[in-house]
């Protein structure tokens, strides 16, 4: 090793997107919106995250997708965090629209209504968020960042943290869905407590 990077480090060509040259761990969520005709739509997204420590949520989408257009029109969206057992439904939600600009596959989904916004969740998920649009930021190449203010949040009782429950046991009993880009997934059942240094503050 000379000055700079180790010989084991490979610099990537930025003339093309880098994100499929290595694996990245991400959540997988289903974003719920309402189509112009009133039917619900669900779309899987993995570039999704809390936006800071307060109750904001954001995800990456493209203006070409119906999800973006629906949110721009209605100003609201829902978020379902699916379980590993729902991998098939999560995958099918990515099916392309048919001639009538509909996704007939969504008729097979068991859903439940949101409480504060117009939308649905995928039943049997473990975390459910209802969001009003906070800000949409275009210009990340062909993509946009859609952010929302969480106006209602719900957690399945088997995934809710409580002082009398061990965190590891909770996760083992209610495994988490992890998307590993590109095109892999995992069921997270075993975790370890992060070794925080004394005095660390967020």
CB-based contacts of 21-28 (< 8 A; 24+ apart in sequence): 23/180, 23/181, 23/182, 23/184, 24/180, 24/181, 25/178, 25/179, 25/180, 26/178, 26/179, 26/180, 26/181, 27/81, 27/177, 27/178, 27/179, 28/81, 28/82, 28/90, 28/177, 28/178, 28/179, 28/185
What's the pLDDT band for 120 if we cut at 50, 70, 90?
A: very high
On whether residue 20 sits in a domain, the answer given is no
What's the pLDDT band for 144 if we cut at 50, 70, 90?
A: very high
> Given a cut of 80, is residue 104 above it in pLDDT?
no
**Structural domain of residue 175, as residue ranges?**
25-158+167-188
- Across the range 22-40, mean pLDDT stands at 95
Domains identified in the chain, total number: 1
Where residue 77 sits, what CATH number does that domain have?
A: 2.30.110.10
On whether residue 10 sits in a domain, the answer given is no
On whether residue 124 sits in a domain, the answer given is yes
On whether residue 99 sits in a domain, the answer given is yes
On whether residue 177 sits in a domain, the answer given is yes
On whether residue 106 sits in a domain, the answer given is yes
> Given a cut of 50, is residue 87 above it in pLDDT?
yes
Q: pTM here?
A: 0.93
Percent share of the chain, pLDDT over 70: 96
On whether residue 195 sits in a domain, the answer given is no
On whether residue 11 sits in a domain, the answer given is no
pLDDT of residue 6: 93
> Given a cut of 70, is residue 1 above it in pLDDT?
no
- Across the range 105-130, mean pLDDT stands at 93
What's the pLDDT band for 101 if we cut at 50, 70, 90?
A: low
């Amino acid at each position: 090793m000379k000055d700079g990077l180790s010989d084991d480090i490979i610099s990537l060509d930025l003339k093309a997107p880098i994100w499929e040259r290595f694996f990245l761990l991400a959540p997988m969520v289903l974003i719920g919106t309402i189509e112009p005709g009133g039917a619900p739509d669900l779309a899987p997204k993995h570039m999704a995250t809390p936006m800071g420590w307060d109750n904001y949520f954001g995800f990456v989408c493209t203006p070409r997708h119906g999800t973006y257009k629906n949110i721009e029109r209605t100003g609201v969206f829902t978020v379902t965090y699916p379980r590993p057992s729902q991998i098939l439904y999560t995958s099918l939600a990515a099916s392309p629209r048919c001639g009538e600009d509909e996704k007939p596959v969504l008729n097979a989904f068991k859903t439940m209504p949101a409480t504060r916004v117009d939308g649905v969740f995928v039943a049997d998920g473990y975390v459910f968020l209802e969001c009003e649009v906070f800000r949409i930021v275009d210009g990340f190449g062909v993509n946009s960042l859609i952010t929302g203010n969480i106006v209602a949040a719900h957690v399945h009782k088997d995934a809710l943290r409580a002082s009398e429950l061990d965190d590891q046991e909770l996760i083992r009993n209610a495994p988490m869905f992890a998307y590993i880009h590109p095109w892999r997934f995992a069921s997270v059942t075993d975790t370890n407590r992060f070794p925080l240094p004394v005095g660390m503050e967020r």
